[in-house]
Chain A
């Protein structure tokens, strides 16, 4: 009886007391007692923001994201675990497909109205409307099967995925954000998709913009800056580890500086607080200014590799010609990988600010990169041996290897003219190839022309190129291997997919099918260790087959003024945890030292 009473009491307490979300102390380098509240963080963005409408926004970074609190779960930047945020708690069904979230009590919009289950339904409904043209419309289904979001009661939302899928965790934390029903639904009901598209343009009165996040828009000066001010209701349900309401800052100023050199000038002049030097020249200038005490601040060079890489992809559409037959032989691609001098690329082209890459899992995911993937690292002698096995045993008078049929070992490597880094990589490949008798002609063309060459031809005929040097940027933190659009080999649309080495719409090699099967197995695996094991298998195949010969990734550098405090602990400072606008820190825990 006593026990039952206690349980009943606990339950009433639980529902009547709104429990705030407490930011773990591990998310900042500072103790709550050191923190001074107030002040404005000054940051910078490379382009004018185009809209305030979360349903229309397609740029990155964008303002709607900066003004939103988040969603049901959030990912701990230090442990990478997903923890309940706007949901107080959640359950996952035995088949892993259904998530049931209990909404945290006491959450409010910036106009004081409560955030309820309806706000997720509103967001889901409008984002799923094809006519709205939302940027995340494609995320509302997996393989053409819709993800279903339903309201169970005022405090409970259920999300059902078409199959067990680990990216669901990312979806419920970083894709579907709640949007204010009382603002959007009346318009959507009366005017439909067009009504929504005309709302919240960049010139809308900031008073009409309702946000869930720590800041709200104070005003937007087009082409100049966005001025954000503290959302007074956010602190009611977001506290630091000592129970102080968040955010610490009074405001944020996002200056629009459209030119990378002008951004550097602003940082060197002390006009902005956070900055990420994009290349070695800018890094050197920031370092020189700090060494000369012109600016007082912190610089972390080579904080981590970027979640992106450049690679060479060969045309493996068929084996009908001498060249495509050669490219289709894994031995040739292994030999090619062994003439890629990745260390020289890092030293010469990237000025030492980079890391060699061997698989589609970029070096920044250091817990995920499999061991032994550098089997075909730079090794010209090994390359010659493999080429000999392929029949290229003697050199012609011009120093180029020929096989017994007189075919020259010669092909054209294309990359885009706008990108000096890729051109540098191509030159290094060309030089090393020449040394062993492989003739690589380079050709630099417009980016769009290059992607048109990569796209599938009508009826999936053979595309017209030998090899292309291009790059991709990486995905999330849940399963950071190449995604389905990169590895699916059949059922392709004509153009638009990224299965770059083979656009014949047929799976030509066993490894293609193996990779896809492993990928979907990994997506369904909620156990982290098991998922990593699958990623390892995928990388072993990739390293052996070399469908994309990976080159090198650039590193990131972070700088901030001494007054800017509350950054992430050094171990968590990397390109994945850093925001483009605010650097390696959680905005709500950032504070200004005076």
Chain B
């Protein structure tokens, strides 16, 4: 087992290394966003009724008249103090704009993560314990299909299917959005929670199908390999029940890489659910980021990038520490 004496300095060292990585990543992001021609105010210039002086005044107000590097350090100073800057579109602090979409994305990500492990581990184990059975072959076949179809396209197919059901049978399908527009406004909290869950179901399932497909195949492979090792044979030889062998001895070892990957989930929390959110009209982070990108609302983009970078760094560290906890063979220097 890892002693505390060795891990604390290691963590401290890693955190020190965060600083240059974070600075470089955010600086790069800031520059790339600003490299695009024009800025948030360019679109105003096409409006015949906006005077050029007004555009200049707003440019000053938003700090867009400063050199990019100066703008970056202003942003950095504010970021350290917990101020994510001002959204040009909303004319409100980003701190106020971000939480709503963030929580919405979190709903998809959390349901998705639970679903991901709840399905891929049993499927992987079943396939490994009964390799080349009909069920295993079916799982393999489905995995290739789900891995092969891009999820946004799959989402469109599902929406089309739901639309046909609603048109032909009059069933009320959760066709996108986070809540139903047909419910009255004064419903109990559990009724609205159920409504959100129903609407979240289709996007999350599509979202995790790819993950489940690859993860279950991966667990299958890992477990098959472990099941062939000497210590498993020894366990079987001394008469340990097959269930015990699989779940207590083999699976624990086979899951090491999966657990080590848990840290990578942290940045996914803020990354949102990607284009699925757009296709399903889910009011999450991706649509917010896309409109921000289209309007060059830089501080929203910068806030998401910065927080994602931080979470990514922390997640990586967490993975490494987790790995050493569950795998005694790993040591840090």
For residue B242, CB closer than 8 A to chain A, the reply is no
Complexed CA–CA distance, A51 and B92 (Å): 9
Complexed CA–CA distance, A475 and B47 (Å): 10
B96 contacts across to A, CB distance below 8 A:
201, 203
In A124-143, which residues have CB < 8 Å from any B CB? 130, 133, 137-139
1/0 contact trace for B199-240 toward A, CB 8 Å?
000000000000000000000000000000000000000000
1/0 contact trace for A175-208 toward B, CB 8 Å?
0000000000000000000000100011100000
Complexed CA–CA distance, A103 and B220 (Å): 79
A56 contacts across to B, CB distance below 8 A:
91
Pair B175/A224 contact, Cβ less than 8 Å: no
Q: How many A-B residue pairs have CB under 8 A?
A: 133
Complexed CA–CA distance, A378 and B248 (Å): 82
Q: A63: shortest Cβ distance to chain B, in Å?
A: 13
For residue A284, CB closer than 8 A to chain B, the reply is no
Given contacts A446-B37, A449-B38, A496-B45, contact A262 B166 (CB under 8 A): no
Pick the contact of B178: A224, A483, A495 (CB < 8 A): A224
Pick the contact of B278: A137, A219, A221, A259 (CB < 8 A): A259
B55 contacts across to A, CB distance below 8 A:
495-496
For residue A119, CB closer than 8 A to chain B, the reply is no
The residue of chain A having its C-beta at the shortest distance from the C-beta of B92 within the complex is: A201
For residue A517, CB closer than 8 A to chain B, the reply is no
Pick the contact of A138: B50, B167, B181, B278 (CB < 8 A): B50
For residue B329, CB closer than 8 A to chain A, the reply is no
Pair A197/B91 contact, Cβ less than 8 Å: yes
Of the candidates B36, B51, B100, B278, the one having the most CB atoms from chain A within 10 angstroms of its own CB is: B51
Query: Which stretch from A16-24, A265-273, A548-556 is at the chain B interface?
Result: A265-273
Q: B216: shortest Cβ distance to chain A, in Å?
A: 31
Q: B174: shortest Cβ distance to chain A, in Å?
A: 11
Pair B281/A259 contact, Cβ less than 8 Å: yes
A432 contacts across to B, CB distance below 8 A:
none
Complexed CA–CA distance, A452 and B173 (Å): 47
Pair B48/A266 contact, Cβ less than 8 Å: no
Pair B37/A448 contact, Cβ less than 8 Å: yes
Given contacts A225-B181, A262-B176, A265-B163, contact A256 B283 (CB under 8 A): yes
Complexed CA–CA distance, A258 and B173 (Å): 19
In B59-90, which residues have CB < 8 Å from any A CB? 61, 89-90
Pair B181/A255 contact, Cβ less than 8 Å: yes
Given contacts A219-B185, A223-B104, A268-B163, contact A50 B176 (CB under 8 A): no
Pair A258/B287 contact, Cβ less than 8 Å: yes
Pick the contact of B48: A48, A130, A258, A498 (CB < 8 A): A498
Complexed CA–CA distance, A266 and B175 (Å): 7
Pair B176/A138 contact, Cβ less than 8 Å: no
For residue B42, CB closer than 8 A to chain A, the reply is yes
The residue of chain B having its C-beta at the shortest distance from the C-beta of A456 within the complex is: B52
Pair B279/A138 contact, Cβ less than 8 Å: no
For residue B101, CB closer than 8 A to chain A, the reply is yes
For residue B95, CB closer than 8 A to chain A, the reply is no
Complexed CA–CA distance, A50 and B185 (Å): 21
Given contacts A265-B163, A452-B37, contact A472 B48 (CB under 8 A): yes
Pair B175/A271 contact, Cβ less than 8 Å: yes
Complexed CA–CA distance, A498 and B45 (Å): 8
Pair A50/B91 contact, Cβ less than 8 Å: yes
1/0 contact trace for A437-474 toward B, CB 8 Å?
00000000011110110010000000000000000100
A223 contacts across to B, CB distance below 8 A:
100-101, 104, 178, 283-284, 287
Given contacts A259-B278, A271-B181, contact A222 B48 (CB under 8 A): no
For residue B253, CB closer than 8 A to chain A, the reply is no
For residue A26, CB closer than 8 A to chain B, the reply is no
Pair B90/A224 contact, Cβ less than 8 Å: no
Pair B57/A130 contact, Cβ less than 8 Å: yes
Pair B61/A133 contact, Cβ less than 8 Å: yes
For residue A497, CB closer than 8 A to chain B, the reply is yes
Pair A294/B167 contact, Cβ less than 8 Å: yes
For residue B321, CB closer than 8 A to chain A, the reply is no
Pair A258/B163 contact, Cβ less than 8 Å: no
Of the candidates B61, B159, B176, B279, the one having the most CB atoms from chain A within 10 angstroms of its own CB is: B176
Pair B181/A42 contact, Cβ less than 8 Å: yes
Of the candidates B38, B45, B54, B61, the one having the most CB atoms from chain A within 10 angstroms of its own CB is: B45
The residue of chain A having its C-beta at the shortest distance from the C-beta of B104 within the complex is: A223
1/0 contact trace for B110-154 toward A, CB 8 Å?
000000000000000000000000000000000000000000000
The residue of chain A having its C-beta at the shortest distance from the C-beta of B165 within the complex is: A269
Complexed CA–CA distance, A496 and B128 (Å): 67
Complexed CA–CA distance, A18 and B289 (Å): 51
A59 contacts across to B, CB distance below 8 A:
89
For residue B179, CB closer than 8 A to chain A, the reply is yes
Pair B48/A475 contact, Cβ less than 8 Å: yes
Pair A222/B167 contact, Cβ less than 8 Å: no
For residue A78, CB closer than 8 A to chain B, the reply is no
Pick the contact of A257: B36, B49, B177 (CB < 8 A): B177
Q: A487: shortest Cβ distance to chain B, in Å?
A: 10
Pair A50/B89 contact, Cβ less than 8 Å: yes
Complexed CA–CA distance, A495 and B41 (Å): 12
Pick the contact of B36: A201, A446, A455, A484 (CB < 8 A): A446
For residue B291, CB closer than 8 A to chain A, the reply is yes
Complexed CA–CA distance, A35 and B248 (Å): 73
Pair A451/B42 contact, Cβ less than 8 Å: yes
The residue of chain A having its C-beta at the shortest distance from the C-beta of B294 within the complex is: A418
Of the candidates A447, A448, A452, the one having the most CB atoms from chain B within 10 angstroms of its own CB is: A448
Given contacts A133-B61, A223-B104, contact A257 B281 (CB under 8 A): yes
For residue A253, CB closer than 8 A to chain B, the reply is yes
For residue A218, CB closer than 8 A to chain B, the reply is yes
For residue B46, CB closer than 8 A to chain A, the reply is yes
Complexed CA–CA distance, A294 and B166 (Å): 10
For residue A486, CB closer than 8 A to chain B, the reply is yes
Q: A288: shortest Cβ distance to chain B, in Å?
A: 11
A270 contacts across to B, CB distance below 8 A:
166-167
Complexed CA–CA distance, A268 and B165 (Å): 12
Pair A493/B52 contact, Cβ less than 8 Å: yes
B287 contacts across to A, CB distance below 8 A:
223, 258
Complexed CA–CA distance, A130 and B60 (Å): 13
The residue of chain B having its C-beta at the shortest distance from the C-beta of A198 within the complex is: B92
B92 contacts across to A, CB distance below 8 A:
50-51, 201-202
Pick the contact of B54: A137, A484, A495 (CB < 8 A): A137
Given contacts A493-B52, A493-B53, A497-B52, contact A452 B91 (CB under 8 A): no
A202 contacts across to B, CB distance below 8 A:
90, 92
The residue of chain A having its C-beta at the shortest distance from the C-beta of B175 within the complex is: A269
For residue A227, CB closer than 8 A to chain B, the reply is yes
Complexed CA–CA distance, A446 and B39 (Å): 12
Pair B279/A50 contact, Cβ less than 8 Å: no
Pair A218/B185 contact, Cβ less than 8 Å: yes
B185 contacts across to A, CB distance below 8 A:
218-219, 227
> Given A42-B181, A47-B291, 14 more contacts at CB 8 Å?
A137-B54, A225-B181, A256-B281, A257-B177, A262-B281, A265-B163, A289-B167, A448-B37, A455-B45, A485-B49, A493-B52, A496-B45, A496-B50, A498-B46
Point out residues on A near B: beta carbons under 8 Å. Answer: 42, 47-48, 50-51, 56, 58-59, 130, 133, 137-139, 197, 201-203, 218-219, 221-225, 227, 253, 255-259, 262, 265-266, 268-271, 289, 294-295, 446-449, 451-452, 455, 472, 475, 483-486, 493-498
Point out residues on B near A: beta carbons under 8 Å. Answer: 36-38, 42, 45-46, 48-55, 57-58, 61, 89-92, 96, 100-101, 104, 159, 163, 166-168, 173, 175-179, 181-182, 185, 278-281, 283-284, 287, 291
30 example contacts (A-B, Cβ-Cβ < 8 A) are as follows A47-B291, A56-B91, A137-B54, A197-B91, A222-B100, A222-B101, A224-B177, A256-B281, A256-B283, A257-B281, A258-B281, A259-B279, A265-B163, A266-B175, A266-B176, A269-B167, A269-B173, A269-B175, A271-B181, A446-B36, A447-B38, A448-B36, A449-B38, A451-B42, A483-B48, A483-B49, A484-B48, A486-B48, A496-B55, A498-B46
- Nearest first, the 3 A-B pairs at minimum CB distance are A223-B283, A448-B38, A496-B52
